[in-house]
A and B are shown apart, each in its own frame.
Chain A
Amino acid sequence: MTLEFINAEKRIHDSLIFPSFNLTVNKGQVVAVYSSVNVREQLIHLLLGKSSLSHGEIRLDGSFKQTNCPGFFFLHHSLYERLSVLEMLRFTKKLHHSEVSIDDMLRLAQLDAKRAIRIKQLSFSEQKRVQFACLLIQNPSIFVLEEPDQNMDLESKRIYLSILQHLSADEKVIFILTGNLESAVTSADTVFRLDANGLQSIQMKTEDERDEASDPIGMVESTQPVRFEKIPTKVNDKIVLFNPPEIDYIESNEGQTFLHIKGESFPCVFTLTELEERLLPFGFFRCHRSYIVNLQKVREVVTWTRNSYSLVLEDLSKSTIPLSKSKMVELKEMLGLK
């Protein structure tokens, strides 16, 4: 069983939601698509068969799409609040004529102790786990998960990740749609970003690969003048690599540096001085003792008083970054002003 997008493109009234892309999710694979809410909703509608693509097609297992085939995990759960966990699962099992054992699924979602409790009385994260258990009982071959771990507590997140592992070992196709890069990176093997610029892969390395790779990199740096261009950041146990032009600005807070990319921040192992040295060729500028800014992204230089200045970036949140007085002089020189 595979899930395939072939030249899929969606437009709504002249505005491009996403340009055509190809993506295949094979069985046993966990793929996350990191996108805005609009794109996510459109993808869900497409998969539900409520709307159709402007170009291209979606194929399940090589054939044209049939609805009811994938199992959906929606952001808003649909549970009968007055039923107990066990009754809810039994109902789902009968409704879907499923052969899956309820007890196994209760154990997998770690709801054993809660089986007799009414769903209304459970916490939000527990309700999400019941929703997951229901989906497991349906036992579809394709799982489409919408923001699966949003607002979940740590315990449930851990359970959710272990369920994902179990499903991937079970040769299921797992397709995660999320607007949270951290969630995408922690749960999936392969992460893509989908927006009006198309589908881009976000490169990642897992911890053990990094261990092998980190030493050679250290050697490279000491022996060869060739520099590794990408900037690594750490998200849980994975390393995510960013292209310098993607970075909006870098901030240092209590000795830890953070890369700010599209409104999200990622901790980085390097110090500001190291990063400044590395990023200088890419048009980055140390505008303050604890900030480095990507000059390509600066829209305005605001003068508050004679001695205080700020830079306004052109990202979505219009971030403002302090600019120190001494650096203002330097910046003016760079810009060719006096």
Chain B
Amino acid sequence: MTFSWKRINAIFMKDYKDFSRNLAVSMVIFLPPILAAFIGRMGAASIESYYMIINMAFGMVASYVQSCLIAEEKEKNTLRGLMLSPATTTEILTGKTLLSFVLTIVTILLSIVLAGYNPANIAIIAVAIILSTFFYLGLGTLLGLYAKSVMEASVLVLPVMIIFSFGTMIIALVEQYPILKAATYLPNIQLLEIAAKVEAGIGFGDIWLHLAIIAAWAVASFATAVVIYRKRMVD
């Protein structure tokens, strides 16, 4: 199995051009920065509101864009061409994931700057955000493999967006309903806890557990995506 950067680059460039001309999908990357700008200008922004925006960016950009990229290949019958080419599964998925990854990171950076969020320890936050991005990309790939068209993908991604961007508010209910304690292991809430601890000045030693949980989510989502890909693509 040869791993060719030239092919990955070809897929990346093709997807970039295709994506930039597909306004219906590319519009979503502007939403989180615009919302962030509002929150930043209104003042009195809390760490929760910053993370609502960041989690929304994950759902809208990482998951949504990734699932649309894959679903469109299926809908337009172009995935067959890719699979008949010498490009391997890893190369196809890497090329596609690379574009969504870059877009997510750029959108989140822009949102953070516009919202005026200034984390106390940039390195830890960066690692946490990159790990979370992988989780959402895996989730997006999974949705894209399930959906048969872009339309279906955009409907499927809605619950993901809602659970992961507004789901952070679940924390408030944990006191009342102890069963919701399980939900605190969700990657979006883990991310928020990391951010809160960083602000409180706690060092890396206490945070690695949270990072490990997010990493586990990311690995799980990618593993499922690969299994589903193999299953779906055989027939």
Q: How far is the CB of A65 from chain B (nearest CB, A)?
A: 14
Contacts of B13 in A (CB 8 A): 91
Q: A97 vs B8: C-alpha distance in the bound complex, in angstroms?
A: 12
Contacts of A96 in B (CB 8 A): 85-86
B77 engages A78 (CB within 8 Å): yes
Question: Given A94-B6, A95-B10, is A78 in contact with B80 using a C-beta cutoff of 8 Å?
Answer: yes
Q: How far is the CB of A78 from chain B (nearest CB, A)?
A: 4
Q: How far is the CB of A242 from chain B (nearest CB, A)?
A: 38
The range of chain B's interface size is 20 to 34
Residue-wise, chain B 62-82 has the 8 Å CB interface mask toward A (1 for contact) of 000000000000001111111
Assess whether B14 is interfacial by the CB under 8 Å rule.
Answer: yes
Assess whether A72 is interfacial by the CB under 8 Å rule.
Answer: yes
Assess whether A13 is interfacial by the CB under 8 Å rule.
Answer: no
The B interface, classified by DSSP as helix, strand, loop or mixed, is helix
Chain B residue nearest in CB terms to A77:
B77
Q: How far is the CB of B125 from chain A (nearest CB, A)?
A: 36
Segment at the interface with B among A81-89, A214-222, A289-297, A316-324: A81-89
Question: Given A82-B22, A91-B10, A94-B6, is A68 in contact with B86 using a C-beta cutoff of 8 Å?
Answer: yes
A87 engages B14 (CB within 8 Å): yes
Q: A48 vs B233: C-alpha distance in the bound complex, in angstroms?
A: 13
A72 engages B84 (CB within 8 Å): yes
Candidates B7, B14, B80, B86; contact of A80 at CB < 8 Å: B14
Assess whether A76 is interfacial by the CB under 8 Å rule.
Answer: yes
A95 engages B80 (CB within 8 Å): no
A95 engages B78 (CB within 8 Å): no
Contacts of B78 in A (CB 8 A): 78-80
Total A-B contacts with CB atoms under 8 angstroms apart: 54
Give the number of residues in A that approach B within 8 Å (Cβ atoms): 21
Q: A94 vs B86: C-alpha distance in the bound complex, in angstroms?
A: 11
Question: Given A95-B10, A95-B86, is A82 in contact with B18 using a C-beta cutoff of 8 Å?
Answer: yes
Question: Given A78-B76, A82-B21, is A95 in contact with B85 using a C-beta cutoff of 8 Å?
Answer: yes
Chain A residue nearest in CB terms to B79:
A78
A91 engages B86 (CB within 8 Å): no
Residue-wise, chain B 179-193 has the 8 Å CB interface mask toward A (1 for contact) of 000000000000000
- Max chain A C-beta neighbours (<10 A), residue from B13, B82, B84: B84
Can you list 20 A-B contacts with CB-CB less than 8 angstroms, sorted by A residue number? A67-B84, A68-B84, A77-B77, A78-B76, A78-B77, A78-B80, A80-B18, A81-B76, A83-B14, A91-B10, A95-B10, A95-B11, A95-B86, A95-B87, A96-B85, A96-B86, A97-B6, A97-B7, A97-B86, A138-B85
* A contact set with B: CB distance below 8 Å: 48, 67-68, 72, 74, 76-83, 87, 91, 94-97, 118, 138
Q: Which 6 A-B pairs have the closest CB atoms?
A: A94-B10, A78-B81, A82-B21, A78-B78, A91-B14, A78-B77
